[in-house]
Amino acid sequence: MSNLKGKIALVTGAATHKSMGRAIALQLATEGADVVVADKFAVPKILRAEDANWRGLHSVVQEIEALGAKGLAVEADVGSSKDVDALVAKTLEKFGKIDILVHCVGVRGPVPVPVIELDEETWRMLIDVNLHGSFLVGKAVAKAMLPNGEGKKIVFIGSGAGIEAFAGAAGYCAAKHGLMGLMKCMAIELAPHKINVNAVLPVAFDTNFRDEQMSKEAKEKGISVDEVIKNQPQGPAGAIPIGRLGTPEDAAGAVSYLVSDKSSFASGASILLAGGLAI
């Protein structure tokens, strides 16, 4: 485990209970970092019965502080440059610097939808959230990391959809492929400042990521989201060589390495977390 004492981390997409963002924020706090957590809504829409008492970012800050670190919750829409600039400003106002960025915001949208049936509004939303938002956050934080950038880290949470294609997910795949290009360009440009830029690419994870889609399915069938989840086929779990879906903590473990001093020679790289599925 890394020693991040004295480091300031900013983690986006951290409001939902079963999110990679929350798990990553807690992992970094465990390792000694003070953590700013951000999301579009401080308290996300509660769709699962198990999350009934969840208070979003405020709950995450309480968990961070229980670990002995300092926390800050900021509501910000990463698709808005105004919100992103305010997020960075609030972080700097409270902590004076940003050493680590882990950008976890993402949306999959409806799938499967063939390209010929994909409406322009959905396409633009997928690009705006997954790619444009990454650009805005990455740019603003990179500027804040300069000129004393040595040892600072940027990690984008991408997807296996960023390196291969899936029928019916053109908008999501296009955005995640674009994110990989953004990450690599930033890695080259920031290398002279000794800032490392990398990505983690999860595949087949058990998180809140698909809750919105399952909520729509529940409404169509006239049942609860919990019933939809219970009746879900196990997806690709049976095909994964390791024999299970990924967890938010799996993503947090990969991030832990990428934000540590041990990864000082890794930049422009990606870690695929697929349990052997892509072999």
The 3-class secondary structure across 173-223, one letter per residue, is HHHHHHHHHHHHHHHHHHHHHCCEEEEEEECCECCHHHHHHHHHHHHHHCC
Give alpha helix (H) positions in 4-80.
Answer: 20-30, 57-66
Tens-level pLDDT at each residue, the chain (279 residues):
669 999 999 999 999 999 999 999 999 999 999 999 999 999 988 777 778 889 999 999 999 999 999 999 999 999 999 999 999 999 999 999 999 999 999 998 888 899 999 999 999 999 999 999 999 999 999 999 998 999 999 999 999 999 999 999 999 999 999 999 999 999 999 999 999 999 999 998 888 766 666 556 656 677 666 665 555 544 556 688 999 889 999 999 999 999 999 999 999 999 999 999 877
Given CATH 3.10.105.10, say whether it is the number of domain 8-209+248-273: no
In b/e form, how buried is each residue of 240-278, taking b as 16+ CB within 10 angstroms? beeeebbbbebbbbbbbebbbeebeebbbebbbbbbebe
Q: How far apart are CA 105 and CA 114, in angstroms?
A: 24
Q: How far apart are CA 278 and CA 239, in angstroms?
A: 10
DSSP state of 45: P
Q: In this predicted structure, what is the pLDDT of residue 234?
A: 47
Q: In this predicted structure, what is the pLDDT of residue 57?
A: 98
The strand order across the sheet containing 34-39 reads: 71-75, 34-39, 8-12, 100-103, 153-157, 196-202, 270-273
Q: How far apart are CA 262 and CA 151, in angstroms?
A: 10
172 has catalytic annotation: yes
Find the helix packing angle between 57-66 and 20-30, rounded to 10°: 20
Residue written as token pair 């670990």 = 67
Give alpha helix (H) positions in the chain.
Answer: 20-30, 57-66, 81-95, 120-127, 133-145, 170-190, 211-221, 225-231, 248-258
Residue of 95, 123, 172, 205 marked catalytic: 172
Classify residue 136 as exposed, middle or buried by CB count within 10 Å of its CB (0-12, 13-18, 19+).
buried
Give the closest residue to 136 by CA, choosing from 191, 65, 81: 81
